[in-house]
Chains A and B, each alone.
Chain A
Amino acid sequence: MSKKGVLLTGAHFMNGDIACAEGAIVAGCRFFAGYPITPATEIAEHLSERMPEIGRIYIQMEDEIASIAAVIGASYAGLKAMTATSGPGFSLMQENIGLAIMTETPCVIVDIMRGGPSTGQPTMPGQQDVMQARWGSHGDYEIIALAPSSVQEMFDLTIDAFNLAETYRVPTLLLADEIVAHMWEKIVIPTAEKIRIVNRKKPNVSPEEYLPFMPDDLVPPMACFGEGYRFHATGLTHDEHGYPKTSSSEVQERLVKRLCEKIRRNEDKIMRVEEVMLDDADVVVVAYGIVARAALSAVRKAREMGIKAGLLRLITLWPFPQNHVAKIAGSAKRIIVPEMNCGQLVREVERAAKETSVVFLSKLGEEPHTPMEILEAIRRNS
């Protein structure tokens, strides 16, 4: 059995799932609970070996419902925690994602998207969970979802996901697809001083004065079990004490609006996109995940042909970078949105693009769009 340290600085050849697991380790994840599911299983397998060798906890639960519940429990007991799954398991987790939202539990949920609905295509890629990621649990909320396009980003964005989760006390999603997860590529793990780690904000008042859900700049400092604060947390609508106030419209308004506002008012700090050749672009492709790589290839080929094409690659899917889309909509003539689904994020793009026409390219099944297919769409719309 290998005996490695926490940070494996240097160049490696690994797949996206393993890179995600290593990213979690570096981010300070001390608790992983999961349930096997293709194509996310390698994350669990890798962590089942890696976590114990660095004194951390790995547990396989009886299902995905239990996995996310255990993650919330571990987070409240003071540890950074993560789970990883795919579509069917992600569906099962929605109930407790809502609990994590309501109890403001920092945690990371990795969803490696495969073809759905239902068991669908276990070994094939998809981008069909994008709306479920946003609206899967009932009630109103804001959530953060990041979409990696490479193995390197599976590592980097997993660290970012932990940092965002801890900063905003919100479950944060890494929304990847089967190709990025199973793809093997070179990654470079930096040295410790180049990695930014955020830890949760702790209360600096005595237990008598502590109000567990009293926000400090929209996000309440978080005490954990066993620290002497003797606090209560509940999935019910609660006041700043954490006590249920299920009949009060005032408390419901104040709480739920704050849960949304703490993300909305920080959108600029959370949102990230990659802009490629947008300055003079007439046709802009908006894409994410594996499809963004086909789009990049297509945009480059289009430029070689003299077409002014550009790419807006979305790294943050939620909150949706609508200002970035609105900006390109102001200058570009057409926006093309290729997605491995029947039309999900394209509707957000349409909403932000207003007058500018948006062309949707759908593809389902085994393969993502080829660069030629996207190039063809660019040519037709240039």
Chain B
Amino acid sequence: MVQETVHPLSKYLREAMIPHIWCTGCGNGVILNCFVQAVDELEMDLDKLVVVSGIGCIGRAAGYTNADSFHTTHGRSLAFATGAKLANPELNVVVISGDGDLFAIGGNHFIHAARRNIGVKVICANNFNYGMTGGQQGPTTPLEASTTTTPYGNIEHPFNLVHLAAASGATYVARWTTLHVRRLTQSIKRMLQKEGFCFIEVISPCPEIFGRRNKMRTGLEMMDWFKRASVVENFSDPSKAEISTEKLIVGEFVNTEKVSYEKFLHEKISQINEKRVGW
């Protein structure tokens, strides 16, 4: 056994910004780990990788990744990413953000990015609440869950993110938990190689903020829930992909081919003026 050594994935991280800000038991680090593992396995060109994030705990992931990265305003990561991807289609643009950022304040951008089929890849850390601002109710908070703004229990129905992504037109839709590290890594690899808009939801523990109000005080307890309740149902109907204490349906739900927006646009430009295709 060797004590002090360098982690093989550390070259994908910005040394100056590590350690990250995430709490003990938080799943964000697992997601970042699986993401850079996928990048490593694919031997991706880091010079062509752009990681974009919004606001929230997971929003810091962009800064931790040793590629070009941009930390946008709250909810606008996908709109920013759309501009970057269109401006330079050679870039691999990945959005890593949270459920609040992508589906509350950024919900409109999400459905339109999916509809347009812009070739941006999205990893959403779903922790069921607003962690960074102290645990308020969000668009994925389960019914009856306790948060700092639902002290009597949540009475709003949560979004089913995979159903929403599929209905909006995403060409790849999957859901995993932070316990499904190998499946998640495989899924990220698959997504990174696809054309068009892709979406992976990762159910992630937030023990300090969400868990402790909902009888799961540690990351381990939340991961235990994932282990106990998870059922892999690949290519099942995403509208029936429930998330409950008893059952947590995960898997790949959509994997189709569709011409991406940027490819469509550039084909259009070539058709309009075959002589002028240069940029």
Contacts and interface: CB of A to CB of B under 8 A. Distances in A.
Contacts of A229: 68
Interface stretch (A55-63, A177-185, A253-261, A317-325): A55-63
B79 A69 contact: yes
Interface residues of B, number: 44
B87 A235 contact: no
B83 A236 contact: no
Contacts of B256: none
A73 B84 contact: yes
Contacts of B86: 31, 57, 59, 70, 74
B90 A226 contact: yes
Nearest to A63: B108
A233 to B, nearest CB: 5
A76 B76 contact: no
Contact of A226 (B60, B69, B88): B88
Interface stretch (B46-54, B139-147, B209-217): B46-54
A81 B83 CA distance: 10
A30 B83 CA distance: 11
A57 B48 CA distance: 20
Nearest to B74: A95
B63 A244 contact: yes
Contacts of A241: 16
Nearest to B21: A244
A162 B259 CA distance: 33
A77 interface: yes
Contacts of A70: 79-80, 82-83, 86
Contacts of A95: 73, 76
Contact of A235 (B66, B68, B69, B71): B71
Contacts, number: 154
Contacts of B157: none
Contact of A52 (B16, B73, B76, B272): B272
Given A62-B112, A77-B88, A55 B279 contact: yes
B240 interface: no
A315 interface: no
Nearest to A67: B79
Interface in B80-125: 80-88, 90-91, 108-109, 112
A316 B270 CA distance: 39
A97 to B, nearest CB: 10
B67 A230 contact: yes
Contacts of A74: 83-84, 86-87
A69 B68 contact: no
Most buried by A among B16, B48, B70: B70
A77 B277 contact: no
A232 B83 contact: no
B273 A54 contact: yes
Given A69-B80, A77-B83, 8 more contacts: A52-B268, A55-B276, A61-B112, A66-B109, A73-B84, A76-B84, A77-B87, A233-B69
Interface of A: 1, 3, 30-31, 33, 52-55, 57, 59, 61-63, 65-67, 69-79, 81, 95-96, 98-99, 103, 225-236, 241, 243-244
